[in-house]
A = this chain, B = another copy of it.
Amino acid sequence: MITSPLFLKFIRSAPDVKEEEVTMILDHFTILQVKAKDHTVREGEICKHIGFVNKGCFSYYTLSESGRKSIIHFAFEDWWTGDLQSFLKRQPATTYWQALEEAELITINRSDFEHLCKISQAFKYLFDLKTQTAYIKILNKSAKDKSETAEEKYLRMLEEYPQIIQRVPHYDVASYLGIAPESLSRIRNKISK
């Protein structure tokens, strides 16, 4: 039985959800411990489960043909992990998901997910809302990324996600910002003055 306060809070944030339904939802999930640097999804595999980050943090990225890593985003506590396209459509994943710290995921597999969506309005609502919100966020981010310099992007990241620079290696932060690690180092040096 899942006891994570963070996850409970998430489930109970659905409108008009009764305690029986909460319990039923929890019953569909399993705890998964993940070691630092381990991958939970790799390109080409079918993503078998999605997971709520209860502890730790993840990066998700793509590899270009030339082997260049491009970090799409990070997932901290309260976020979900997993290649959505692969999970929902049972297609090979196009992204990698890697734990940057020792982590704990609250996971659900594809068939349990489908079943849960059918029997729980509340869970379906929460999941669709998460997707919608994430979609809107990345749309806004995408617009800003186009018109900002590297320094502006870095400063915006510090405002929006102050955790990132604390918990993530700088070469990964650079990849997230779409710049070279050397450039990030110089930007930080310049700002600290």
Q: What residues make up the interface of A, taking CB atoms closer than 8 Å to B?
A: 61-62, 64, 68, 70-72, 84-85, 88, 94-95, 128, 131-132, 134-136, 138-147, 175-178
Complex Cα spacing A62 to B144, Å: 8
- For the complex formed, measure the closest distance between the CB of A70 and the CB atoms of chain B, giving whole angstroms: 4
Nearest B residue to A138, CB-CB: B138
Q: Which residues does chain B contribute within 8 Å of A145, judged by CB atoms?
A: 142, 145, 178
Q: B143 contacts A70, CB within 8 Å? A: yes
Q: Which residues does chain B contribute within 8 Å of A144, judged by CB atoms?
A: 62, 70
Nearest B residue to A146, CB-CB: B178
Partner of A142, one of B68, B128, B142: B142
Q: Which residues does chain B contribute within 8 Å of A176, judged by CB atoms?
A: 146
Partner of A72, one of B62, B84, B142: B142
Complex Cα spacing A143 to B95, Å: 10
Complex Cα spacing A33 to B62, Å: 41
Q: Told that A70-B143, A94-B140 touch, could you supply 5 new A-B pairs with CB distance under 8 A?
A: A62-B143, A64-B147, A128-B131, A135-B138, A147-B178
Q: Which residues does chain B contribute within 8 Å of A72, judged by CB atoms?
A: 139, 142-143
Q: Which residues does chain B contribute within 8 Å of A141, judged by CB atoms?
A: 142
Partner of A146, one of B136, B138, B175: B175
Q: Which residues does chain B contribute within 8 Å of A139, judged by CB atoms?
A: 72, 84, 138
